[in-house]
Each structure stands twice: as structure tokens, then as C-alpha cells.
Structure 1
Amino acid sequence: MTRLIVAAGGGGDAVAAAMLHAALYGGESQAVILTYAWDRLLIDPLPGPRRACDFTGLEHLTPAVWAVPAQALPIAPAGSTLPRLASELPHTFVLLDPCQGVEGLTHQLDDLVSHLGPESIDLLDVGGDILARGDEPTLKSPLADALALAACSRVRAPVRLLVAGPGLDGELLPKDVADVLGPVVHTFTARDVDAISSALEWHPSEATGMLAAAAGGVRGTCEIRDAGLPVALTDDSPTVYEVDLDNAVSRNQLARAVMATTHLDEAEAHSRQVCGYSEIDYERNKALRLKKQQPTKLAPATIWAQLDQFETEARARGITHTTFRRITEALNLNGSQRDDLRQLLVNSRPEQYDVPLWRIPNAT
């Protein structure tokens, strides 16, 4: 029996897919998780998603579909979390390559469905930006989700759309999507998080990290990303909802616009028209800025002084938690230093580590 889970946004959604499989189908065999190799600039210095030609060691599942095994390697300077996920989690990770637009993604999905004959197909999005109209001022990264939604709506098999943790991506508020959410499928618990505990220690996803923390009982307000967006962690944060796929497509203007695209550049053009921007343009511009950034030595004495100042200011903003990505960028460190920073902080102040978040202490 094979369960197919499509990680709508790649990256952290793939980790959440492993947690979802354990929660819903735990007694069954491993899942096949389809995901983009799109780790943004924390892991991959190159903008946009990676293709099969950006890796060595991939394995053909079908003529159109590649699996990413543990021994696969991204070709420098590219980076990817997928080989490490494949080494730590008991699932098959399959590369979604959007280079040929929705037409190409649909072909990959149809090919894989024909090959596997899965018992079920779930399309999973953490946060709910897959339900965006496209004109929301807080929306930052709609393209990956819109492409996945459009392709899944065209595949020749029934697909169930699931949204976990509405609002956790910091792009839409829970109230922005409440009207389209359907029945509750599951509410994650600390026991469910055990399935991905090893990945949480190093994977940079903020939305899935907050989903796991909320499942473990963490509540408060978490500050994320370079912009310092506040995200509420509530009793509803670990909840998974089913959403009618057709309703989601009707709502998502970008998904409808990219439906017949045959190239990623074409999809980007639609994003600029519908949303006013392309998230890959943002990554291109940020990558250029990071290239000019002078490397900063991770000096503990300096780090602690900067961290104390950051925590004081965050506390004044009503923040109770933050992510290691947010701290890394707030301290003007390079994304490649994130893991070293996390180890320094966790080893020195373990009482502030609400896995995988950093707790802002109360004033003393």
C-alpha cells in the first residue's frame, strides 16, 4: 500500500508530510513524498528551485520522475536538504521539477501515479498560502504552492488538499482562510512530532518548526524571517484541515493563471502580473546582496551581547519565541552560520530551547 503526499511548497512541507504520514497512516509502509528542491537561500545560494541536472546520484523511478536517495549530492554551488532528509526519514523523496511549468509537473504526477497506483494522494500545505487569492499585501511566496495546486487539479486521480497550521507561514492570518477551511482531519500532538524529531534539529523551515512546536504545546507569539513577522501559536496551530480542491483553485488566481504553462519563466511572468512580483526575483536580489556581505566571525562574546539586545527588543514587542533563522539574520550572520549559532545557543542555554524554537525569557 503506497501513500503519495505532495509537499506544496517544498522544503518544510516535505518534513511536515512525514509527520502527517506517521499521524494518519503510521501503521503502514513508507510514504512517497513529492517535493521541490527549493530551500531558499539559507541552504542553497542559488535562487529558485533545483532541477534533476543539479544533482548527482538521483534514481529514475519512471522516465519522467527522479527519486532523491541519501547518497545523492547537489552539484556545487547548489545546496539541498533532500538527501539528508532521505537519510534520516523512512520515506522516498521524489523531485518535483517545475522547469516545464504546470504541464511538466502534471506529467510527472500522472507518470508517478500510473507507476505506483497509490492508495491515496494528499496535497499538503503548511500555513495556508495555497489558499491565497494573490492580492494579499502580506503574501510573499505564492508561486510554488500555486504550481503544485494547479498540477494536482489536473492529475488523473483524486487528490485531497490538506492545510496544516493556518497562518503559520506568516503570509496569511488564520482569519484570511477560515471561510474556506473544511473539516478537521487531525490535530498534531507531541507523539506525532517524534517521527521528524531528528530533522527538526537542523532543518531551517520556520512554518514546520512552529507546527511541531505547537504540537508539543508551545503557545505564544513567534517572530520569523528577516522581516521579523509575528506569528501566533494557538490551540488551533497544530490542526490539519481538509479543503475542497476545486474551491482552492477557484480562489487562487495565480494557480488558474499558470494552469497551462510550459516553462517556469512563463509562470513567473504570471506571478508578476497577478501578484505584482515573483518570489524568485526576490531571491535573485537577495542573493546579490548576500554575495556582497562580508563574512562575520561567530565570536561568542559578541553574539551574547547582540542576542541580549535582540531579546530585550523582542520582549518589548510581545514576542515569546523566535526561530534560529530569524536570530541569524537579526545578528547579521550568514545563513551558513545558522547551525553553528544554534549549537552555541542551545548548548549554553538549553532551558530556552523549546524544540525547535528559541524562547525569549521574561525580564529579570
Structure 2
Amino acid sequence: MTTKRLLIAAGGGGDAITAAMVHAALHGATAPALVLTYAWERLVVDPVPGPRRPADFTGTEPAAPGLALVTPGTRPVPPAGSLLPPLAAALRPRLGLLDPYGGAVGLARQIAAAARWCGAERIDLVDVGGDIVAHGDEPTLRSPLGDALAVAACAATGMPTSVYVAGPGLDNEVPLSALVPRLGEPAFALTAEHTEGVLGVFDWHPSEASAMLVAAARGVRGVCGTRDAPAPLVLDEASRGVHRLGLRRTLELSPLARALEGSTTLDAAEEASREVCGFSEIERERGRAAESERAGTPRTPHATRTAPPSAATLRSRFAAWERDTLAGGIEYVTTRRIAEELELTPTEGRLLFDDLRAGLSVPRAAPLWKLTADRGQEPGREGAQG
């Protein structure tokens, strides 16, 4: 059996994309690797609150006892949704499912099974943004549970583990001013070369943090507005940095990870999150889903439209939105922000974005859209730099 590197995407789909880039930087993009990730996605993708488990999918590959691999042919069982199958088709590393319903203890068993299958002797645990080192009391913290469970599970395996935090602050969960003293100096920085295997996913994947990380690695610098951010973020040289921490240090920084050690159910993990952080993100998802159901609001805006507007109409709508956004001092935006603020259906999104790409004057582009005061000259994305 060919030895594979074992990586864990600490928080789900966006971290799986970042894990592929970190793997490319550490070991080379073509080195065999397995990325373990949660099937835990936004309600607009998966309308069922909380994470999915292997039984919620058909077409997974049972690689070993306790290890289910996601393939391009894997499908979520309705009403669940998932973007992991197209990620499995797009990313070079294989993807394996993490099932958190057995708490940190259950996750540790899955990680150990994956390590045996890979022939791996160590783990690389990857997080984009930095909520993996959250103290739990940050007012902007939204989703610490998956990351903290992964930390506690890696500790339970007893395997040597390095924790990599890429793009500090890009997830808008822990303020950059608080992250800097916790993370120290970066171990290395991602470059355009490390992004080559993931560029295409941002045409359809909503991860904003990993999109900004890719843009920063490709040389984009400036003020970026995302859907999730309470305020615009500034992409600078530090935004492409990757920080390496030991597992013990990460446990010291994360009270929630310490509280999760020995947990055997997801319910117990939720309760620990309430005690440490004052909330459960799964409970928040349940509340949003119930509110949407009561209001009769479709989770995909205007999904029932049958006749899409013309490209010219969409371009006009975008141009008006663009002028307003530029007036707020924002230079770059994510695909997700455009799609959600203009309430685009998938068909409308394809029409608009294809139209904007047609105006590009460079062959390669980073996954952010550069706003311009004159949409008639060079519509489209910021070209790759550096």
C-alpha cells in the first residue's frame, strides 16, 4: 500500500480546500493524501441542521472499518444536501467522512482507522482563519465546535499532530488582534503555485475564508467584503501566512477542546459548548431552520423563478449594486456575496458570472471579483499576481 499523508479539515468543507493547499505546500500537490472532513455545511447547502454521518449518504467507499470515503458518485440522502461529492471530484487528496456523533472518543477511533489505512504516523490538522484557538468568549465566534472536537480527538489518538492555521482572521471569528499573540510568527506562506489545484472550486463552493486565502496567496491586496464579515477585511501579506502549533499548545489555548476530551456523544459535546462558549451552533442552526420553516421562506432565494432575466438585465442589476458597494470602500468581493445580495438563482448566477468572465483581459484569475467604477471597460475578476 502506498503511504498517504493524513490531514484533518478542522471545520468542514472550507477547511478541506485549505487542507489541500497546505498539503501542496508541505509535501507537494501530487503526493498521496487523505483529508478527513465533516459533512457539516451551511443551511443554504444542507437544509438539515447539524452534521451528517455516513448513513446520510449513498455511494460512499468503505475503505476500512470506520472509514468511509466520499467519491464523485456519492450522494446525500434527501432532504440533506452536501458539496463534498463535487469537492471529491475537484481536489487531488481523497476525502473521508468524520462522524462527530460519537464525540471526541468516536472521532479518535475514526482517525486511528484512517491512519492505519494511510500508513500515516502523524496528523496534520488544518484550520482556515483561527477559530481552532478560540478562547470561547469572543463575541464574533460562531462555529467552534467542529474544530475543538477535532483537537480533542487528535489528542485522544496519541499520534503526533501538528496544527496549521492558515489565513489568520479570514474566517471573521476571532479578531486578528487576539490571534497574533496566540499564533506567533508564520511557519511559511502559501503561494500561487499552492492554489492551482483548488482554483476552480470557487465557481460553486461558498467558502469565503478559503477563497480569500487563495486570493491572498495569488497576490491580491486590498479591502475585501464578504457575506459573513461584520466589517470588510484587508488582504495583506499576512493573510497568506500559515502558522504551525503543537497539539499541546492548541489544547492550552482552547478551553472547549479541553472540555470535550473524553466526550462520547454529540449531545455531550453540545452541552460542553454551552458551558464554555455560552451557545451551541447546532442549536442555532435548528433555530434558523425552524424560523425559515415558520416563515415559509425558501432557503434558496427565488428558487421558483422559471424565466431567468437576460444577461443584460443581470449586468445592469450588478452594475448598480457594484456602485453602491464601491461607495462603501470595498475593492473586492466573494462570489457568495454577489449571489446572495443580488438573490441570484443558480441559473442567474451562471449567466451573470459567465458574462463578467467574458470581459477578462487575463487568462488566469483569483477567486475574488474586483469591483470597478466603469463596468463597461474590464468587467471580471482580479488577475493573478506574483
Q: Same fold (TM over 0.5)?
A: yes
Runs of 4+ in 1 over 6 A off after TM superposition: none
Determine which of 326, 337, 340 is the counterpart of 1:326. 337
The answer on 1:293 being equivalent to 2:297 is: yes
1:340–1:188 distance in 2 versus 1, CA, 3 Å: farther
Q: Give the drift of 1:305.
A: 5.2
Structure 2: how far apart are the matches of 1:8 and 1:317? 33
1:153–1:234 distance in 2 versus 1, CA, 3 Å: same
Q: Give the drift of 1:31.
A: 0.7
Contact 2:39 2:82 in 1 (8 A): yes
Q: Give the drift of 1:224.
A: 1.7
Q: What does 1:265-280 correspond to in 2, within 5 Å?
A: 265-280=267-282
Structure 2: how far apart are the matches of 1:153 and 1:313? 48
1:137–1:170 distance in 2 versus 1, CA, 3 Å: same
The answer on 1:246 being equivalent to 2:253 is: no
Contact 2:149 2:257 in 1 (8 A): yes
1:194–1:245 distance in 2 versus 1, CA, 3 Å: same
The answer on 1:151 being equivalent to 2:162 is: no
Contact 2:167 2:242 in 1 (8 A): yes
Q: Give the drift of 1:171.
A: 1.3
Structure 2: how far apart are the matches of 1:226 and 1:133? 20
1:61–1:315 distance in 2 versus 1, CA, 3 Å: same
Q: Which amino acid aligns with 1:319?
A: I
Quote the residue 2:12 is aligned against: 10
Q: Which amino acid aligns with 2:341?
A: A
> CA offsets per residue over residues 73-121 of structure 1, 9 Å max, x none?
1111111122112222232111000011111111111222234331542
Q: Which amino acid aligns with 2:333?
A: T
Quote the residue 1:313 is aligned against: 324
Q: Which amino acid aligns with 2:367?
A: P
Determine which of 340, 354, 357 is the counterpart of 2:347. 340
- SS of 2:43's equivalent in the other structure is helix
Structure 2: how far apart are the matches of 1:226 and 1:328? 13
Contact 1:100 1:263 in 2 (8 A): yes
Q: Give the drift of 1:142.
A: 0.9
Which stretch shows the higher mean deviation, 302-311 or 169-178?
Answer: 302-311
1:303–1:253 distance in 2 versus 1, CA, 3 Å: farther
- SS of 2:223's equivalent in the other structure is strand
Q: Give the drift of 1:341.
A: 4.2
> CA offsets per residue over residues 24-74 of structure 1, 9 Å max, x none?
211753211000011212321111111011001112222222111222111
- SS of 2:36's equivalent in the other structure is strand
Q: Which amino acid aligns with 1:122?
A: D
Quote the residue 2:383 is aligned against: none
1:188–1:237 distance in 2 versus 1, CA, 3 Å: same
Q: Give the drift of 1:212.
A: 0.5
Q: Give the drift of 1:145.
A: 0.8
Determine which of 159, 181, 189 is the counterpart of 1:187. 189
Contact 2:66 2:110 in 1 (8 A): yes
Quote the residue 1:356 is aligned against: 367
RMSD: 2.3
Q: Which amino acid aligns with 2:339?
A: T
Structure 1: how far apart are the matches of 2:162 and 2:283? 31
Q: What does 1:58-207 correspond to in 2, within 5 Å?
A: 58-207=60-209
Q: Among the aligned pairs, what percent are the same residue?
A: 45
Structure 1: how far apart are the matches of 2:277 and 2:112? 29
Contact 1:311 1:360 in 2 (8 A): yes
- SS of 2:213's equivalent in the other structure is helix
Determine which of 222, 229, 237 is the counterpart of 1:235. 237
Q: Give the drift of 1:177.
A: 1.1
- SS of 1:184's equivalent in the other structure is coil
Q: Which has the larger radius of gyration?
A: 2
What residue ranges of structure 2 are gaps of 5+ in the alignment? 376-386
Structure 2: how far apart are the matches of 1:225 and 1:278? 22
Q: Which amino acid aligns with 1:148?
A: A
Which stretch shows the higher mean deviation, 160-169 or 310-319?
Answer: 310-319
Contact 1:253 1:274 in 2 (8 A): yes
1:153–1:136 distance in 2 versus 1, CA, 3 Å: same
Contact 1:182 1:244 in 2 (8 A): no
- SS of 1:261's equivalent in the other structure is coil
Q: Which amino acid aligns with 2:322?
A: E
Structure 2: how far apart are the matches of 1:363 and 1:119? 55
> CA offsets per residue over residues 181-220 of structure 1, 9 Å max, x none?
2453321111211111222322211111111111111111
What residue ranges of structure 1 are gaps of 5+ in the alignment? none
Quote the residue 1:216 is aligned against: 218
Q: Give the drift of 1:164.
A: 0.3
Q: Which amino acid aligns with 1:326?
A: R
Which stretch shows the higher mean deviation, 35-44 or 219-228?
Answer: 219-228
Contact 1:152 1:159 in 2 (8 A): yes
Structure 2: how far apart are the matches of 1:46 and 1:273? 24
Contact 1:164 1:241 in 2 (8 A): yes
Q: Which amino acid aligns with 1:23?
A: A
Q: Give the drift of 1:238.
A: 1.0
- SS of 2:196's equivalent in the other structure is helix
